[in-house]
Amino acid sequence: MGQQRGRTVGIHLTHEGEYLGPVGPFEVDGGWWSAAAPVVERVSEELGVPVLVLRLAEVAEGGGGSGGHVVYHVEALERPAGLVPRQQGADIAALLGPAERRAGWATASGLRSALDWAERTLREVGRPVAGPVEQVRTWNLSGLFRYRTATGVDAWLKAINPAFNSREGEVIALLGSVDPTLVPPVLGADPAHGRLLLDHVPGEDCWGPSAEEVADVVPRLVAAQAALAADGRAAASGLRDRTPRVLLAQVDALLDRLEKAARLSAAAPGGADGSGPAGGPLTVEELAAARALAARLPALVADLAACGLPETLVHGDFHPGNWRSDGTRTVVVDYADSCLGHPAMDGLRPRQYVSEERWTQVAEVWSRAWREHAPGADPERALKLVEPLYHLAYAVRYQEFLDHVETSERPYHEEDPVNEIRAALARTGAGPEGAARG
């Protein structure tokens, strides 16, 4: 999780297709660009009508998803008193107009359709809404909304892009068939539109997980993954294939693209200066090192297979922020990145989010659980071997994000593919400096 910075906000306001002008700038609590709730609260209070954030339109300064000055497109659900439609200049029309790859929840009509579906589904399951929807998070990858219901138990609407994400309801059903306590209850799903309606899971997200939370959730995920591998349902599930041998070709294809981007950048006026890790495209030396690392991957994949762990359903983003605990049980949420892959990818994921002491425990608990379910396997070795493939797999995944989001929302992940490749080189000593020493 990156470091959060302060955020100032400006908005362009619309209502049912009419432009009502800019509002702001003003400061809001919480620096994450995707945190919509503080923006909704401030603008609603200022205008006296309910509003919803459609999308991030522009960002100046900031980085890593937080800080700087952020401009949002905001839709008023009722016409604010005293504001009249105005003509849009060419720059505003371009900023707010249609765009390729815009998410469904980032348009007024698409958002209303998603909310209508959620409210209709809640009525059908006997949980009619008991108040206005609360927008929690909106960004290039998802929209998250909270409903108070007449039963007193909240429900959550999540909207994602089905073009490059898993069918979360199906993944939850598959894992839940093995361990129903591991996953959140699903109230409704519309996979064609990437919509999922979930029951509320009590507790808190496990940023900074306790030893008890690690000891609870890690072995349960391993047990479910082992069961789904053993009965063949993971392989037959239709999940996106991120198995190690498939990743080899995907990594090569990504390096081809990044090499082309580096050449174009270098050829452009004022092009790349070769600064490398400070930002921008991979340098010639980094590309050569990445190619050399990629050439060693087939042998690494063979060694990984020899460790004896089965390919299975992989959560894809198994960090503790996606664990939720009430002190008695821990539930795993957010299955958009789920795929068929090597379980060590999930085993390694918590490391960058926890202390060294907690990581040592995670590795021990994960390895012990896999030794129990796969006698004769060597999970400790798998956890070490998988590291370069782990970073390269995330480079492929982040590029997938960039290929499916509109231009204005690329700042969320613009540098991530290159940064993951640099991490793979640094962690393996395969970077230009390591190669020179070798």
Tens-digit pLDDT profile for residues 4-25: 567 899 999 999 999 999 998 9
Closest C-alpha among 232, 249, 220 to residue 373: 220
Question: Among 124-138, 266-280, 303-317, 366-380, where is mean pLDDT lowest?
Answer: 266-280
Residue 245 has pLDDT above 90, yes or no: yes
Averaged pLDDT for residues 73-98: 93
pLDDT at 274: 46
pLDDT band at 159 (very low <50, low <70, confident <90, very high): very high
Averaged pLDDT for residues 301-319: 98
pLDDT at 149: 97
Domains of the chain: 7-97 (3.90.79.10), 106-200 (3.30.200.20), 211-437 (3.90.1200)
Residue 43 has pLDDT above 80, yes or no: yes
Averaged pLDDT for residues 321-330: 96
pLDDT band at 431 (very low <50, low <70, confident <90, very high): low
Averaged pLDDT for residues 341-346: 98
Pairing verdict, β 204-205 and 195-199: unpaired
Residue 10, token pair as written in the block: 């400006």
pLDDT at 428: 82
Residue 436 has pLDDT above 50, yes or no: no
Residue 273 has pLDDT above 60, yes or no: no
Closest C-alpha among 127, 44, 40 to residue 78: 44
HEC-encoded secondary structure of 211-264: HHHHHHHHHHHHHHHHHHHHCCCCCCCCCCECCHHHHHHHHHHHHHHHHHHHHH
Model pTM greater than 0.85?
A: yes
**Cβ proximity of 325 and 294 under 8 Å:** no
φ/ψ region of 16 (left if φ > 0, alpha if ψ in -120 to 50, else beta) reads: left
Residue 430 has pLDDT above 90, yes or no: no
pLDDT at 281: 86
CA–CA gap between residue 206 and residue 229 (Å, rounded):
27
What percent of the chain has a predicted confidence (pLDDT) above 90? 86
pLDDT band at 271 (very low <50, low <70, confident <90, very high): low
pLDDT at 189: 98
What are the pLDDT digits (tens) for 182-229? 999 999 999 999 999 999 999 999 999 999 999 999 999 999 999 999
pLDDT band at 276 (very low <50, low <70, confident <90, very high): very low
pLDDT at 278: 45
pLDDT band at 175 (very low <50, low <70, confident <90, very high): very high
The residue length of the chain stands at 438
Closest C-alpha among 103, 27, 115 to residue 77: 115
Residue 425 has pLDDT above 50, yes or no: yes
Residue 81 has pLDDT above 70, yes or no: yes
What is the amino acid identity at position 280? G
Mean model confidence pLDDT for the chain: 92
